[in-house]
Amino acid sequence: MPATIAFLSRMSAEYQAPYLAALRSALPEETIQPLQALTPAQRALTTIAIVANPAPEDVAALPKLLWIQSLWAGVEQLVAGLPAGSPPVVRLVDPEMSRTMAEAVLAWTYYLHRDMPRYSRQQSMRVWQQHTYRRPSQFAVGLLGLGALGTEAARMLVNAGFVARGWSRSAKTVPGVETFAGEAGLDAVLASSDVVVSLMPLTEQTAGLLDARRLHMMKPGAGLINFSRGPIVVTQDLVAALDRRHLSHAVLDVFDVEPLPDTSGLWAHPAVTVLPHISAPTDHRTAAQVIATNIREFRSSGRIPGHVDMARGY
Ligand code: NAP
């Protein structure tokens, strides 16, 4: 009988329930219990924890832990909260999440490509004015980040006929996509894209990456979509770029502080679309299946699944 798997989360019991139910149904051979339900003897033997916003002291309460499976794809908060020498963190890489994110990138790219913010403003002023149509093949989308989410978004954009450019830390080959790496590569993607989409993790290198200087490098009239993490974009620099109409519109799903405070000027900014972190939610069922595969592989081989490079931060 394998040791009980601990489920660590600061989510409310109501919010946790469907995750626990999906995990138990995907792993009927395992016992999965919230930390509070584990006896001291069970805690002492637990080798795997499944986590969603765990308290660092809850992780520390499991002395034999060998690895931590995150229910989220972004793990910067988890990694930042763990002391040096903590067990490896395996983040969620779920093809269904990649598909959902790619769908969101395509949907909001169309929103900007088909000038929806502009026609909506015109309607509110009863203005009947037609603007030039650009085919997708005349419209370039620059993806910052070509990982699990970025490559699927690139594939969907290419299938829809858009010009897709991608930037990553290491050089990459993605079919149909012009790829770039390094500082010079970023400048080239920013300068040549009609929409720039952030799909990078938040790390020391990416925090504040899209600042006044880099936003200024973007094409006049370009749009920005941030679907990864708020602090990658310097909010006041973005607002300044929108106010002076250098950029036309920003679609933001992620913010420095979430939920976005009532007092934020972004709520009412005419060139900003505010979304409540919904571009690619974790799907309980498919996430549980991905996690079940990871845990079964570990049980049979003893190998910990591919995990986060703590020094790199993702
Ligand atoms: P991933 O597979 O780790 O891919 C990250 C990509 O970013 C990789 O291509 C990586 O380059 C690139 N990158 C990282 N640091 C870089 C840097 N300093 N310069 C240039 N490129 C850099 O991550 P993912 O699964 O695609 O997820 C990306 C992020 O999306 C997550 O970290 C999370 O924050 C966010 N997310 C948001 C939502 C939402 O609902 N809004 C949902 C899920 C995820 P290499 O390929 O060279 O490593």
Contact 269, 278 (CB under 8 A): no
Instruction: Please classify residue 277 by burial: count the beta carbons closer than 10 Å to its beta carbon, then call 0-12 exposed, 13-18 middle and 19+ buried.
Output: middle
Q: Which pLDDT value is given to residue 68?
A: 98
pLDDT < 50 regions, the chain: none
Any idea which residue has 């033997």 for tokens?
45
What is the pLDDT, as a whole number, of residue 1? 79
Q: Residue 296 is part of a domain; what is its CATH number?
A: 3.40.50.720
Q: Is residue 51 part of a domain?
A: yes
Chain CA centroid to CA 125, Å: 36
Q: What is the per-residue pLDDT across 161-192, written as a single tens digit (0 to 9) for each?
A: 999 999 999 999 999 999 999 999 999 999 99
- Which residue lies with its CA nearest to atom 43 of ligand 1? 73
Whether 307 sits among the annotated catalytic residues: the reply is: no
The secondary structure of residue 84, as a DSSP letter, is T
The reply to whether 199 falls in a domain is yes
Structure tokens at 110: 């169309």
Q: What is the pLDDT of residue 39?
A: 96
Query: For residues 217-247, b (16+ Cβ closer than 10 Å) or e, as one string?
Result: bbbeebbbbbbbbbbbbbbebbbebbeeeeb
| 199 CB within 6 A, ligand 1 | yes
Regarding whether 167 and 207 lie in a shared domain, the answer is: yes
**Number of domains observed in the structure of the chain:** 2
**Is 175 found in the same domain as 48?**
no
Q: Which domain holds residue 233?
A: 97-274
Cα diameter, the chain: 72
Ligand 1, atom 29, lies closest to the CA of 201
Q: Indicate the residue type of 83.
A: P
Phi–psi pair at 249, nearest 5 degrees: -165, 150
In this structure, the answer to whether residues 139 and 219 fall within a common structural domain is: yes
- Same structural domain, 69 and 195: no
Catalytic (active site) residue 99: no
44 and 192 belong to one structural domain: no
Nearest atom (ligand 1) to Cα of 172: 46
Q: Which residue among 118, 169, 269, 277 is the active-site one?
A: 277
Same domain? For 146 and 244 the reply is yes
Give residue 245 CA to ligand 1 midpoint distance, Å. 28
- 244 and 286 share one domain: no
pLDDT value for 110: 98
Residue whose token pair is 């790390």: 203
Which residue reads 């770029």 in tokens? 241
pLDDT score of 83: 86
- Same domain for 262 and 164, yes or no, is yes
Q: Are residues 74 and 143 in the same domain?
A: no
Query: Does one domain contain both 122 and 73?
Result: no
